[in-house]
Amino acid sequence: MSALAMFRALRNRASPVFSSPYLSSHVASIPKFISTLILAEHEDGAIKPSSLSAVAAAGALSEGNSISILLAGAGPSLEEAASHAASIHPLISQVLVANTDKLRYPLAEPWAELVHLVQQKGGYSHIIAASSSFGKNILPRAAALLDKSPITDVTDISGPQLFVRPIYAGNALCTVRYTGGDPCMLTIRSTSFPVPSVSDDSKSNAATISQVDLSTFNEDAVGKSRYVKLTSQDTERPDLGNARIVVTGGRALKSAENFKLIEKLAEKLGAAVGATRAAVDSGFVPNELQVGQTGKIVAPDLYMAFGVSGAIQHLAGIRDSKVIVAVNKDADAPIFQVADYGLVADLFEVLPELLEKLPEKK
Ligand SMILES: Cc1cc2nc3c(=O)[nH]c(=O)nc-3n(C[C@H](O)[C@H](O)[C@H](O)COP(=O)(O)OP(=O)(O)OC[C@H]3O[C@@H](n4cnc5c(N)ncnc54)[C@H](O)[C@@H]3O)c2cc1C
């Protein structure tokens, strides 16, 4: 099967490419009690949507899973985030708050130490974080402290110990059975676990909020890495990882100046801006906009690609997009083999025309 045919099969949610009868015959060994700790990220007094996807993933482990959210930091926004977490979904039974200046920033060393401490007290069967920079930074280190082998980038959960994850740059799916004992530690792709909806009923069933006892917290763990600063684009555009519409530009844009055509279109559509690695490497846009195997994974309702060839490493990041639209002047560009709508045309003609015809965003 060619890489593109594989992409199409995976996009259509084919059953895992690698799954063995050996696996299914061992599914029976389910732990008696499932309890999950979610390592959650918060911002401006609210839980980030990627961490809510981790709650959705925990819900898929088993019915009756007891889910605790672990939050850390300092200051009033932490307390607000704790209240938000407690009321966001009925699946959450407990919110654990580690309130200390040592955890103000999401550094791997103190966070891993915290996870170790909380696991020793709570004895969770599973620990989950989203596959964001936060989760990818913290969970492997925490797993090393707990002497466990983490399973990363999970896209589907078939049982408490049976997980599906992509391999070979997303060209195949692999089913993995975990046999390492508690806790089973996972990072999940948030695009594969839609954010659970918030009902008003759940607000009246708020989860309990407890402070983590930090008297035995190893403060010596703090110090190997140092938080310098957070730099983020000052923009009102939606977050690339959660946007409903993504407009992406490739190398064909030729310059940062020309790339503004993509940004203007995104503005009119209320979309996030994405870029190929070639566009990032050429300096048109910052690295954080890269979509693909080594960039962000996106799953919008509409993905628009302008001057993007459709390299397999780029396609690895857009597999879960519902509708893909491509504009490329080469009719043989691989992107057309995965696009739902394709236009063989020069983007420097198409983009100005689109911008002229679309109304201004109110
Ligand atoms: C380990 C590894 C990881 C990688 N990770 C990523 C990743 O995460 N994301 C990623 O994107 N890439 C990644 N790459 C790079 C990837 O292989 C491609 O090189 C890259 O995606 C190509 O970007 P592009 O489509 O913008 O450029 P090109 O491949 O140069 O394609 C440009 C396209 O624009 C078209 N075009 C040119 N002029 C016009 C015009 N005027 N109007 C319309 N169309 C036009 C051309 O026909 C062509 O198809 C990775 C590579 C490696 C080896």
Q: What is the DSSP string of 269-291?
A: HT-EEEE-HHHHHTTSS-GGGBB
Q: Which atom of ligand 1 is nearest to the CA of 294?
A: 8
Instruction: Confirm or reject: Cβ of 43 under 6 Å from ligand 1.
Output: no
pLDDT at position 13 is: 45
Q: Which helix (H) or strand (E) holds 94?
A: strand 92-99
- 211 carries a ligand binding annotation: no
> Distance from CA of residue 5 to its chain's centroid?
25
Q: Which regions in the chain score pLDDT beneath 70? A: 1-32, 196-205, 221-223, 233-234, 362
Q: Do domains 9-221 and 245-355 have the same CATH topology?
A: yes
Instruction: Confirm or reject: Cβ of 278 under 6 Å from ligand 1.
Output: yes
pLDDT at position 25 is: 40
User: Domain-by-domain residue ranges, the chain?
Assistant: 9-221, 245-355
Task: Name the residue type at position 310.
Answer: G
- 241 carries a ligand binding annotation: no
pLDDT at position 225 is: 83
pLDDT at position 16 is: 40
Instruction: Confirm or reject: Cβ of 250 under 6 Å from ligand 1.
Output: yes
pLDDT at position 91 is: 84
Structure tokens that stand for 218 in this block: 């190893």
- Distance (angstroms) between ligand 1 centre and the Cα of 230 equals 29
295: phi then psi, degrees, rounded to nearest 5? -125, -145
Residue 251 burial by Cβ neighbours in a 10 Å radius (0-12, 13-18, 19+): middle
Q: Does domain 9-221 have CATH number 3.40.50.620?
A: yes
From 168, 277, 344, mutation site for ligand 1 pocket: most ligand atoms within 8 A of C-beta: 277
Structure tokens that stand for 263 in this block: 């940004």
pLDDT at position 233 is: 66
| Distance between CA atoms of residues 36 and 40, nearest Å | 12
Q: Which atom of ligand 1 is nearest to the CA of 308?
A: 25
Long-range contacts of 195-202 (CB under 8 A, 24+ apart): 195/49, 195/52, 195/53, 195/56, 195/242, 196/52, 196/55, 196/56, 196/59, 196/89, 196/91, 198/88, 198/89, 199/90, 201/90, 202/87, 202/88, 202/89, 202/90
- Distance (angstroms) between ligand 1 centre and the Cα of 3 equals 16
Instruction: Confirm or reject: Cβ of 328 under 6 Å from ligand 1.
Output: yes
Instruction: Confirm or reject: Cβ of 168 under 6 Å from ligand 1.
Output: no
Helices 256-269, 347-357: inter-axial angle, 10-degree rounding: 40
pLDDT at position 256 is: 98
pLDDT at position 24 is: 40
The partner residues of 272 in beta bridges, in order of sequence, read 246
pLDDT at position 14 is: 39
Q: For domain 245-355, give the fold.
A: Rossmann fold (3.40.50)
pLDDT at position 18 is: 38
- 231 carries a ligand binding annotation: no
pLDDT at position 154 is: 97
